[in-house]
Structures are given as C-alpha cells and as structure tokens.
C-alpha cells in the first residue's frame, strides 16, 4: 500500500507545477502594466536627458550675450562703443556683409592650409623621432632634453628669429606650426609605443619576431590611442601657430592673423570680433575632426573613447 | 644548454635561478615530462612556478642547470589572455600562424578549426573588449592550438575566472589534451584543478622553489566532472594539500 501510494503522490506533485507554468500563458497572471509603458518612459527620459545636456550651456550663453549687450549699451560710453560692438552689429558687419565675410573665409582657409601643412610635417618628424627613440634607449636619452627645450621656448620669443632665417612668407608660418605642435606628438607617440604589456612582448619573443614585425603588429597599434590623444592637442596648437605666425609674417597670402591685426589697427570692432569667433570655430572644427577620426579608427576596439 | 629532444618533451636538470637583485627563485629543480603526460606543479604564490615556465620557454636563462626542449613550436598560455585588443577573435587566433609565415588560406582553415575546438564558433568577429574572462581564455587557447604544439606550457591560466568557468575550462583542457595529444606543463595554486587534469602532480615549496613531493594521478581519461566528488579524488587532493602545507612550515 505504502509502496503504491508514494509513486502516486509523486505524480501529483509533478503535475501541479505544470499547471502553474501554463497559467501565465493563459493570460491569468499577465502583468497589468501596458506594454508600451517602458517605452514611453524611455522616450521621456531621453528627452529629459537631451534637455539636461542642452539647457545649461544655452542659459549660460544667453547670460553672456545679455552681459555683452549690457557692456555695449550701458557700461561704456557711446563714444567708446567701438571697444565692444553689440552682437547684432558683429553679425551684420562680420558675417552678413559678403565682402567682409569672403575676405575672412579666404584668410581662414589660408591659415587652415598652413596649420595642416605644419601639422603634417610635425607628425612625420614626431613619428620618426618617437619610433627611433622607442627602439634605442640611447636615442631617447639624447633627444629627450631637446624635445623638452623645444617645448619650453615661448613661441613669441623665437618668432623674430624664424622670420630672420626663413623670411616673412608661408615657410616661416609653417615653421611656427611645426615647432608649436611637435612636442605632444613625440611624447604621446613614444609613450604609446612603450605602452604594450610585457606579456604581449613575450608573445612576440616566443615566436621569434623581428623588430619590424613587433613594431608593426604590436607597438604601433598599441600606440594608436595615445597617438590620437597627442594629435588632438597638436592639431589645436597648430591652428594657434598658424594664426600667430600669420600675425607676424606679412608676406604672401593674407591669413586670419593678418586680418586680425588689420582690424585691430583700424579699430574695426565688428570685424575683429567676427574674426575671433571664426578663429575659435576653426579650432573647434579641427578638434572635432580628430575626435571623429579617432572614433572611426580605434572606436571599435578601444575601451574608453572620448566623445 | 638547450637541445631538441625526441624521446621526452621537456626535461629540467638541476635548474637554479638567482635574480640579479639576489632573490633566489629556484633551487635544484629536476623533472621531466614525457609525451602523453600532463604534469601540474602546485605551489604557494611567489614560489617561482612562473619563473620555471619562463626558463622552459627560453624567455629567461637559468643561472644553473640545463633545459632540454624543442622550442620550435612551443605552446605558451599566459596568466592573462594577452589578446591584442585591436584584433577580432579570429585575427587574434591567427596571430601565431601569421608570425610563422602561413599564407592567409592556411591561417583561415587553422583558425576555423581551433575556434571550433574551443567552442567559440560564432564569435569570430568580436573584439576582446566584448568577451567574458572565460571567452578570452578560450581565444588564447585557440591561438596556441593553431600551431599544433607538441608541448603546452600553462602559466596559471584560469586563475582570474570564476569557479564554474574554471571547472568548464579544466574539463575542456583535459579533453583537448586527449584529442590533440600534446604534453602539458601546468602551473597553478589550485589543488582541485591540478588533480582533475593531470597525470602527475608535483608540489613546489615556497621561495626558493624546490620540488618537495610528486604524485601519480591514476584516474583514466576522459575524466568526467563527477570525478571531483569521488572519495579517491578527495583522498589524493588531501595528500597533495598536506604536502603543500608541509612545504610551507
């Protein structure tokens, strides 16, 4: 009797859970929340997120513009208003006057070309130096103090010397860009090349790889994140170098530096402010472009990519 | 000092290692691993176990003694997976074949087979950053399998993964040992792992590392997960544990 009863009771306990499982499928225990509830919540939170990202700078920007108008119209006397033209005048004269705007755009383009040329040469020199520094400690020791010295020279102090040696044309402008942007490229590339783990080097040692293979397949890819960090800094510096160089060297194409100088000398407050805005816009575009390139090239695999 | 061997896969003869700073890592280590053997060395942290592997692979020259090993196609599985983060699983698995000059067709078939062996089919195009610790270790194993090395050196490879993943990887390693027929030298501080996979377990003392005990593991292959709960398994693990404790005091 007892032997028979136990299988029966076991069968009973097996069927009971099955009933429990089938019940929700019938809809009896379905949650009462509407299906679209989480989605709607998500849309709202995303909208809020966007608002939280945009509102603070927007409010601050409006505050700055308000202060600007306050200075233009109330804080300074009308006879000295050329010092701080109101925003709408800057827009009208600087951006909406096609002759002025074209002049600034071509100046900006000229300076952009100089900055890119200088940056390209600085990248070539920087990669070359960092690569040989990574291969021979003695080269690193030899070059390092001079790289630091190069970085320590205030650019304005050697601008006259550069003009003296290379004249007052495009060459000197490019030289300024090279000098100002070289150091971060050397240092970041070197740091990156030396950043690969010892165990990864062991991997290549175990398989008898030569220097070139190790450099190409291990050290250079490992260096890419650091290289991009350096490039973003150097690209910004190169833009500054192009404008500073252009400011001092008057021969050849007229860049944005020459225009800034001319507007300041002629007390053209509107054009001056517009040119400053366009210069900073160039800096932002360059920084953003390299960020985009970084994302494109190493975003797939690198853990922390800056946005 | 190093010669290719045909009879045994690896043998250490009186290995001693004193580092330039005066630390004595290894003293008089003599042991050999024949083909078809899977030898595990258990020992406390910092006893010089990894140093022994670095000596076996030629990454380090011992200050005394000699090594006999064929280093042409040595398999070396590191403590961490050491995957190149800019390469996908497949590209990582193909690295060694690439370094040995195989053409792309050969590389592809070797990597496909190795990826299948470790059960990562379907993940070929994933980058390491999106893999779990266990999957990274599998990729590392697959990379080493592509060259079909006659001898595998394992440097505490499963130390960083969780217990369940480690047990799975142990089962797979002994399965691969069976199917691929390599000799193995495995370093760990987990006794269970050592007894489960090996044909022989050696116990190493604290620094300077010496071999203080050796045990033959009689269980037949393939070993099932249930082996871990057998009385014989517990008995042998206990003996190894006692030897390990003895070496500490």
ipTM of the complex as predicted = 0.85
Provide the CA B140 distance to its chain's centre, in angstroms.
12
**H or E segment at B153?**
strand B151-155
Looking at the structure, do residues B154 and B125 belong to the same domain, yes or no?
no
Of A206, A222, A301, the CB nearest to B74: A206
Domain end among B148, B166, B192: B148
Q: What span, in angstroms and rounded, lies between the C-alpha atoms of B42 and B195?
A: 10
Is the omega angle on the peptide bond into residue A120 within 30 degrees of 0, that is, cis?
no
Domain ranges of chain A: 15-79, 85-298
Query: What is the least distance, in Å, from the CA of B227 to any CA of chain A?
Result: 31
Looking at the structure, do residues B165 and B221 belong to the same domain, yes or no?
yes
Domain end among B120, B148, B176: B148
Residues of chain A positioned with their CB less than 8 A from the CB of B100: 207
> Could you tell me the CA-to-CA distances from A172 to A168, A181, B30 in Å, in that order?
6, 14, 70
Identify whether the C-beta of residue A174 lies closer than 8 Å to the C-beta of residue A121: yes
Q: What span, in angstroms and rounded, lies between the C-alpha atoms of B127 and B123?
A: 9
User: A208 to chain B: nearest residue by CA?
Assistant: B99
> Count of A–B CB contacts within 8 Å?
51
Going by their DSSP bridges, the two strands B183-188 and B74-77 should be labelled as unpaired
Looking at the structure, do residues B233 and B214 belong to the same domain, yes or no?
yes
Nearest to B27 by CA among B51, B60, B57: B51
Can you tell me whether residue A30 is helix, strand or coil? coil
pLDDT given for residue A39 in this prediction:
52
Interchain proximity A218–B129, CB inside 8 Å: no
Looking at the structure, do residues B125 and B222 belong to the same domain, yes or no?
no
Looking at the structure, do residues B224 and B181 belong to the same domain, yes or no?
yes
Name the domain count of chain B: 2
Specify if B79 maps to a domain. Answer: no
Query: What is the least distance, in Å, from the CA of A225 to any CA of chain B?
Result: 11
If 0-12 CB within 10 Å is exposed, 13-18 middle and 19+ buried, where does residue B108 land? middle
Nearest to B185 by CA among B54, B94, B4, B3: B54
Specify if B123 maps to a domain. Answer: yes
Looking at the structure, do residues B162 and B188 belong to the same domain, yes or no?
yes
Interchain proximity B57–A302, CB inside 8 Å: no
Looking at the structure, do residues B90 and B188 belong to the same domain, yes or no?
no
Q: Cβ neighbours of residue B181 under 8 Å, at least 6 residues apart? A: B35, B36
pLDDT given for residue A26 in this prediction:
41
User: A209 to chain B: nearest residue by CA?
Assistant: B99
Looking at the structure, do residues B174 and B140 belong to the same domain, yes or no?
no
User: A225 to chain B: nearest residue by CA?
Assistant: B86
Contacting A with CB below 8 Å, chain B residues are 57-59, 74, 76, 78-80, 82, 84-87, 95-96, 98-100, 127-129
Residues of chain B positioned with their CB less than 8 A from the CB of A200: 82, 84
Looking at the structure, do residues B67 and B179 belong to the same domain, yes or no?
yes
Residues of chain B positioned with their CB less than 8 A from the CB of A197: 82
Interchain proximity A199–B78, CB inside 8 Å: yes
Span A85-298: which CATH code? 1.10.3720.10
Nearest to B92 by CA among B40, B127, B48, B46: B127
Q: What span, in angstroms and rounded, lies between the C-alpha atoms of B42 and A34?
A: 58
Nearest to B213 by CA among B205, B202, B222, B200: B202
Looking at the structure, do residues B64 and B93 belong to the same domain, yes or no?
no
Identify whether the C-beta of residue B48 lies closer than 8 Å to the C-beta of residue B25: yes
Domain end among B93, B117, B148: B148
Give the tens place of pLDDT for each residue, A40-61: 555 557 788 888 889 999 999 9
Q: What is the dihedral of CA A56, A59, A63, A68, to 10 degrees?
A: 100
The residue ranges of chain A whose pLDDT is under 70 are: 1-44, 304-307
Interchain proximity B84–A197, CB inside 8 Å: no
Residues of chain B positioned with their CB less than 8 A from the CB of A209: 99
Can you tell me whether residue B84 is helix, strand or coil? coil
Reading the block at residue A146, the tokens are 């001079």
Of B57, B74, B84, the CB nearest to A200: B84
Going by their DSSP bridges, the two strands B200-204 and B211-216 should be labelled as antiparallel
Best of A207, A220, A294, A302 to disrupt the B interface (most B CBs within 10 Å) is A207
Give the tens place of pLDDT for each residue, A202-214: 999 988 889 999 9
Nearest to B40 by CA among B168, B208, B154: B154
pLDDT given for residue A67 in this prediction:
94
Residues of chain A positioned with their CB less than 8 A from the CB of B78: 199, 202-203
Interchain proximity B82–A197, CB inside 8 Å: yes
pLDDT given for residue A124 in this prediction:
97
Identify whether the C-beta of residue B145 lies closer than 8 Å to the C-beta of residue B114: yes
Nearest to A272 by CA among A90, A97, A88: A90
Looking at the structure, do residues B30 and B57 belong to the same domain, yes or no?
yes
- Angle (deg, nearest 10), helices A170-193 and A137-152: 140
Nearest to B226 by CA among B236, B216, B234, B238: B234
The pTM (predicted TM-score) of the whole model is 0.79
Q: What is the CATH number of the domain that holds B208?
A: 3.40.50.300
Interchain proximity A207–B82, CB inside 8 Å: no
Interchain proximity A302–B85, CB inside 8 Å: yes
Average pLDDT for runs of 10 along chain B of length 249: 56 89 88 89 83 89 88 85 93 92 91 89 91 90 90 87 86 87 89 90 87 86 86 88 78
Best of A195, A197, A203 to disrupt the B interface (most B CBs within 10 Å) is A203
Specify if B78 maps to a domain. Answer: no
Specify if B190 maps to a domain. Answer: yes
pLDDT given for residue A150 in this prediction:
85
Of A202, A213, A222, the CB nearest to B59: A202
Which domain covers residue B26, as residue numbers?
2-73+150-248
pLDDT given for residue A131 in this prediction:
95
Looking at the structure, do residues B181 and B126 belong to the same domain, yes or no?
no
pLDDT given for residue A8 in this prediction:
40
DSSP per-residue letters across A123-181: HHHHHHHHHHHHH-HHHHHHHHHHHHHHHHS-HHHHHHHHHHHH-SSHHHHHHHHHHHH
| Cα radius of gyration rounded to whole Å, chain B | 18
Nearest to B161 by CA among B182, B131, B181, B204: B131
């Amino acid at each position: 009797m007892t032997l028979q009863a136990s299988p029966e009771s076991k069968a009973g306990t097996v069927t009971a859970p099955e009933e429990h499982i089938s019940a929700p499928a019938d809809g009896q225990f379905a949650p009462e929340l509407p299906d679209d509830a989480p989605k709607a919540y998500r849309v709202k939170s995303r909208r809020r997120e966007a608002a939280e990202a945009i509102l603070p700078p927007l409010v601050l920007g409006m505050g700055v513009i308000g202060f600007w108008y306050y200075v233009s119209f109330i804080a300074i006397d009308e006879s000295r208003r050329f010092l701080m033209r109101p925003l709408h005048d800057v827009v009208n004269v600087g951006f909406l006057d096609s002759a002025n705007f074209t002049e600034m755009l071509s100046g900006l383009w000229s300076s952009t070309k100089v900055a890119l040329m200088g940056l390209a040469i600085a990248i070539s020199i920087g990669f070359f130096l960092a690569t040989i520094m990574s291969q021979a400690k003695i080269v690193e020791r030899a070059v390092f103090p001079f790289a630091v010295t190069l970085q320590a020279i205030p650019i304005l102090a050697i601008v006259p010397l550069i003009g003296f040696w290379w004249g007052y044309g495009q060459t000197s402008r490019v030289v300024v860009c090279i000098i100002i942007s070289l150091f971060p490229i050397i240092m970041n590339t070197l740091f990156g090349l030396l950043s690969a783990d010892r165990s990864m080097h062991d991997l290549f040692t175990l398989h008898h790889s030569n220097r070139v293979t190790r450099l190409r397949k291990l050290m250079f890819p490992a260096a890419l994140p650091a290289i991009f960090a350096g490039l973003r800094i150097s690209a910004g510096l190169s833009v500054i170098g192009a404008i500073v160089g252009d400011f001092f060297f008057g021969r050849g194409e007229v860049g944005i530096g020459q225009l800034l100088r001319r507007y300041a000398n002629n007390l053209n407050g509107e054009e001056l402010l517009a040119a400053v805005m366009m210069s900073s816009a160039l800096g932002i575009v360059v920084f953003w472009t390299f960020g985009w390139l970084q994302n494109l090239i190493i975003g797939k695999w690198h853990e922390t990519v800056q946005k | 000092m190093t010669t290719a061997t045909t009879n045994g896969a690896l043998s250490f003869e009186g290995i001693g290692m004193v580092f330039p700073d005066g630390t004595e890592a290894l003293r008089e280590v003599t042991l050999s691993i024949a083909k078809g053997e899977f030898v595990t060395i258990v020992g406390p942290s910092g006893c010089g176990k990894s140093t022994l592997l670095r000596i076996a692979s030629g990454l380090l020259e011992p200050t005394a003694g000699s090594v006999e090993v064929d280093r042409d196609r040595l398999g070396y599985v590191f403590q961490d997976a050491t995957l190149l983060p800019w390469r996908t699983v497949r590209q990582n698995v193909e690295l060694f074949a690439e370094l040995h000059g195989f053409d792309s067709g050969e590389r592809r078939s070797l990597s496909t087979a190795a990826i299948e062996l470790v059960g990562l089919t379907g993940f070929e195009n994933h980058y390491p950053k999106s893999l779990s610790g266990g999957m990274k270790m599998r990729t590392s194993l697959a990379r080493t399998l592509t060259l079909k090395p006659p001898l595998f050196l394992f440097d505490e490879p499963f130390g960083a993964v969780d217990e369940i993943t480690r047990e799975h990887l142990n089962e797979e390693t002994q399965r691969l040992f069976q199917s691929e027929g390599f000799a193995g030298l495995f370093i760990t501080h987990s006794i269970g792992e050592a007894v489960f996979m090996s044909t022989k377990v050696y116990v190493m003392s604290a620094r300077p590392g010496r071999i203080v005990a050796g045990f033959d593991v009689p269980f037949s292959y393939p070993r099932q997960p249930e082996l871990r709960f057998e009385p014989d398994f517990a008995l042998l693990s206990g003996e190894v544990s006692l030897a390990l404790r003895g070496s500490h005091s």
